[in-house]
Amino acid sequence: MSRTSWILLMLAGAGLVAVVPRVAEYLLPPIGNELDPAHHTYPRLAGQSSNEIEMAGTISPRFGLRLTAHYETNGARGCKSIPSFLAGYLEGASFPSEVSVPLRVERRGTAFTARLTVDRYIPGPCDWRLGYVKAVISKGSLVSLPNYIIVARSDFNWPPKDTPFENSSDSPVTLRCSFEQLKGLPANASMNACVIPGVRISDKYRHYLVRPTKRIVVHIMDYD
């Protein structure tokens, strides 16, 4: 039995049943893929931003696009959550707590723009920072698995510095997506339409915020 479980058991045994949920909130990691705004570690808005990035580029007019910014903690004790579901990981495993913010995407013909606030939250004791930006691309009723087009948190998934995917304001992110490969999949199955078997990836498909930048260019192309 863990020390935390022992403390909660002793409180319950002492008749302090009303105290147990409040103590548990501070001692046990919250459960869920998204941190509850009522949780005591939920980040506070920073107010006026000093670090914004314009995302701009092109996209096939036949594609739908949703962009979401995800902010994460440093994963220290007391700053983790247990996801409700996370494929490929041990049940009950804890990860840095996370909150997500949908980005407003403006489209005009084949062009699109969106604004990303890097310093949206006060870091606080859990060191809240931008983790990544996720793009969900669709074509009609077909929806691709997400593409992580911007990765900012250097503590996790840090790329080798000699890769072509390091930060470069002059090098756009390019996704070539084929939704033909999603047709005929079982109802409960999906895949990434922007990873095409047999097609060599020569483009930069992810932007790492190694250095500060004000603009990131993203091209999302129809490969069908």
Could you read off the pLDDT of 15-48 as tens digits, one per residue? Answer: 444 443 444 444 455 676 789 898 989 999 998 8
C-alpha to C-alpha distance for 224 and 221, rounded to whole angstroms: 9
Q: Which region among 2-16, 40-54, 157-171 has the lowest average model confidence (pLDDT)?
A: 2-16
Split at pLDDT 50, 70, 90, the class of 209 is confident
Q: Which helix (H) or strand (E) holds 24?
A: helix 19-27
Full 3-state SS string of 31-44: ECCCCCCCCCCCCC
Most confidently modeled range among 6-10, 27-31, 88-92: 27-31
Question: How many H-runs (helices) and E-runs (strands) does the chain carry?
Answer: 2, 13
| DSSP track, 96-131 | E-EEEEEEP-EEETTEEEEEEETT-B--TTTT-EEE
CA distance 130 to 109: 30
Mean pLDDT of 155-172: 58
Looking up tokens 């915020």, which residue turns up? 209
Task: Return the higher-pLDDT residue of 76 and 187.
Answer: 76
For residue 89, pLDDT over 80 is answered with: no
Q: Please choose, from the candidates 218, 207, 209, the residue with its C-alpha nearest in 3D space to the C-alpha of residue 174.
A: 218
- Residue carrying structure tokens 């939920």: 42
User: With 90 as the cut, is the pLDDT of residue 189 above it?
Assistant: no
b/e map of 22-59 (b: 16 or more CB within 10 Å)?
A: eeeeeeebbeeeebeeeeebbbeeeeeeeeebebbbbb
pTM: 0.80
Cα separation, 5 vs 1, in Å, equals 6
At 199 the pLDDT is 67
Quick check: 51 pLDDT over 60? yes
Share of the chain above pLDDT 70, in %: 72
Taking only the tens place, the pLDDT of each residue in 107-140 is: 999 999 999 999 999 999 999 999 999 999 999 9
Question: Given this model, what pLDDT does residue 8 score?
Answer: 38
pLDDT of residue 12: 45
